[in-house]
């Protein structure tokens, strides 16, 4: 099973700042099978990015994704108040899906 | 608009059984691959299982912690997917989300149903 590690665990930033979130896989992951989700308290996760760098429907362009192999990054160019949440990466491989432990982006 | 509505959660004793249902609307259910994802209190999401569309074979895959205890099925005439959970353990306590899978990602999510396994 591929294990995903996310860093940092918590990112404390102010609105307007840039957020850079990392997702590292224990073995190589096809970019096609790497996705990112945003979750706010009391809500289900929401798909943000898929194929490592494609935005899901309705996701603003301040969100971008990059990476390949074992290292992937989610960047939020300028944080808006509604972006403070927990972010998870997810991969598919060998007929199973795994999620990372998440990065919490909170207000500094 | 895509809607996924879960039901069937509740309190059950260790060793007991529960069946969750997920009613889908707003998309062509018979063509969809469906998954269950759970989230224990204060933890990240964990994939539980997936069922392919009948045209893609209708086969199922499960995460290791639930394999042999949980079974997914679907009724395309009712646009509903099920999760039969047997031999429940305390560590199965979680919110269970029904999801529609697209391209190996969880495209749409329901609001979830809480399963509590406790004596």
pLDDT at position A95 = 87
CB contact under 8 A, B107 and A88: no
**The residue to which tokens 């939020």 are assigned:** A76
The answer to whether B20 touches B115, Cβ cutoff 8 Å, is yes
**Chain A interface mutation, best of B3, B35, B45, highest count of A Cβ atoms under 10 Å:** B45
**Section B20-46 average pLDDT:** 97
Q: What is the pLDDT along chain A (108 residues), one digit of tens a residue?
A: 899 999 999 999 999 999 999 999 999 999 999 999 999 999 999 999 999 999 999 999 999 999 999 999 999 999 999 999 999 999 998 889 999 999 999 999
Position A92 scores a pLDDT of 95
Extended strands (E) in B1-119:
3-7, 10-12, 18-25, 33-39, 45-51, 60-62, 70-75, 80-85, 94-102, 105-109, 113-117
B47: nearest CB among A50, A56, A97: A97
Chain B residues within 8 A of A29 when measuring between CB atoms: none
| Secondary structure of residue B6 in the 3-state scheme | strand
């Amino acid at each position: 099973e591929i294990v995903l590690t996310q860093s940092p665990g918590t990112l404390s930033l102010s609105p307007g700042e840039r957020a850079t979130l990392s997702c590292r896989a224990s073995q190589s992951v096809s970019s096609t099978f790497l996705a990112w989700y945003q979750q706010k308290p009391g809500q289900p996760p929401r798909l943000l990015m898929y194929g490592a760098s494609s935005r899901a429907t309705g996701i603003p362009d301040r969100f971008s994704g990059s990476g390949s192999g074992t290292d992937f990054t989610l960047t939020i160019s300028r944080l808006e108040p509604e972006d403070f949440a927990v972010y998870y990466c997810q991969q598919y491989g060998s007929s199973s899906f795994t999620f990372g432990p998440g990065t919490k982006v909170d207000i500094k | 608009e895509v809607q996924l509505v879960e039901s069937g959660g509740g309190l059950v004793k260790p060793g007991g059984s529960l069946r969750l249902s997920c009613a889908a609307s707003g998309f062509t259910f018979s063509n969809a691959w469906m998954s269950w994802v759970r989230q224990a209190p204060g933890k990240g999401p964990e994939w539980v299982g997936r069922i392919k569309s009948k045209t893609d074979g209708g086969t199922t895959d499960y995460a290791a912690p639930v394999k042999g205890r949980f079974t997914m099925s679907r009724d395309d005439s009712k646009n509903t997917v099920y999760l039969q959970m047997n031999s429940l353990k305390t560590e199965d306590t979680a919110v269970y989300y029904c999801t529609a899978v697209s391209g190996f990602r969880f495209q749409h999510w329901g609001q979830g149903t809480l399963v509590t396994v406790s004596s």
